Amino acid sequence: MKKTPYLYTLLAASLLSFSACNSTTSTSASATTDAIASAAQAAAAPELDLAGAKAAYISYCSGCHGEELEAFADRKWKHGSSDEDLFKAIKHGYPDEGMPAFAETFSDEQINGLVAYIQQGIKGIKAYDFGNEKTVEAVQQSEEQQFRLDTVATGLDVPWGMAFLPGGEMLITDRSGKLFRLSKDRKLQQVEGAPKVLAQGQGGMLDVELHPDFAKNNTIYLSYSAVKEEGGQTLSSTAVMRAKLNGTKLSEQKVIFEALPYSRTRHHYGSRLEFDKDGYLYISVGDRGNHDENPQDLARHAGKVHRVKDDGSIPSDNPFVNKQGAVASTFSYGHRNIQGMVLHPQTGQIWTHEHGPRGGDEVNIAEKAKNYGWPIISYGINYNGTVLTELTKKEGMEQPLHYWVPSIGPSGMAFVTGSRYKNWEGDLMVGSLRFQFLSRLKMDGTKVLGEEKLLKNIGRVRDVKMGPDGYLYVAVETPGTIYRLVPVE
């Protein structure tokens, strides 16, 4: 939705201890706020009733606080958050803090309508506050399924990715820079020959994927934050290595993908790997924190989903293979930081989810040549509360199938298949780093019907996978633990 620009700083975030609209632009914001307040007060106040409060909020307030009240998440209220506190703030303002008064713009009844709408939104945001509720290794009762947790592996730090080997064994990457092989008797053995990584920030050893014909060729793929020294600086980038796995050793290592240019930042590597039914490998690369240049520039690798053959060469039908200056491996673009990618078991489509800023984590289907809009369109706002973009939709850019406000920090992704979880089949499981739970998205085709929050307060869920044994596996950070969800009749 395109919002009227002159209303952006009304209901300014001085309501919060963390200023939403004037924290980074103090001088210009002060002058702008004065002009905006004068213009707003000169305009005729719209006739609002309680039913019209949402429309009023979107028109007058969402520029600062987001259409879904994103700026109200994770903040302590400087002037209180009761009905009386909010009424006072809107009506009388806090001029010294950039919050204009609206006594001449709205009637008391209209202000009460805004207060009621804001309180309703705050209540929705608090849906992810699980209090002291704990996940224990006892029987868990979900809406449609009882299950217990079975601890599969411990002694890890940040288990970032999982891949299942024939015969009941598993490969596990640890962001610290290590690759482990988990035996059938649940013993961890470090695999030698893994690539050198920059284990800083969000970087390190990241995803792991088996070749579709692993049983014949023993080939695996590792994504990681590659490192090099240049001009006296330590730079890093997302890279993918192909290698042969022989017991607990790697051989024939070869880097088949390297995102350019390297960057000084230590975040937004992306790095999920997934093969499609035709044997092409998909690689997600985050925007590396440079949203101004990378996601929309086809000459750069960052902020994209890439598609390559199993040896790293470029498929001839890639969408930009004949476009001058474009990166030939690019499949889709306009992404922020994809940390979930999975092949749909029925349609064969590649589904992804990516991190938004404050608000606007998205679920998408990655389609050839499509632009997913970042940072031109977004359902989120900047971390400091300022407006990132006034647009949530634009022609030629894809809308998400689902988005979260506030951001849950999604990581890992799996469709439930098989008959073990009778009432979950076809649903989409997503891990939450931020709120530390497992999200079950109830699916009807490509439509999300609702969300159930499982494993509350279990820890930062980094990965979730369906195993070949028909069980769901969940990887949790620090202490790094792998759990298996075992249905209970």
Contact between residue 398 and residue 372 where contact means Cβ atoms under 8 Å apart: yes
d(CA 188, CA 55): 56
Q: What is the DSSP string of 59-108?
A: HHTHHHHTTTTGGGTT--BTT--SHHHHHHHHHH-BGGGTB---TTTS-H
Q: Name the phi and psi angles at 28, rounded to 5.
A: -70, -35
Catalytic amino acids?
268
End-to-end CA distance of the chain: 47
What is the length of the chain? Answer: 489
d(CA 8, CA 406): 20
Among 54, 65, 55, which residue's Cα sits nearest to residue 18? 65
Among 339, 388, 393, 394, which residue's Cα sits nearest to residue 363? 339
For 33, the enclosing helix (H) or strand (E) is: helix 26-42
Contact between residue 64 and residue 13 where contact means Cβ atoms under 8 Å apart: yes
d(CA 147, CA 135): 12
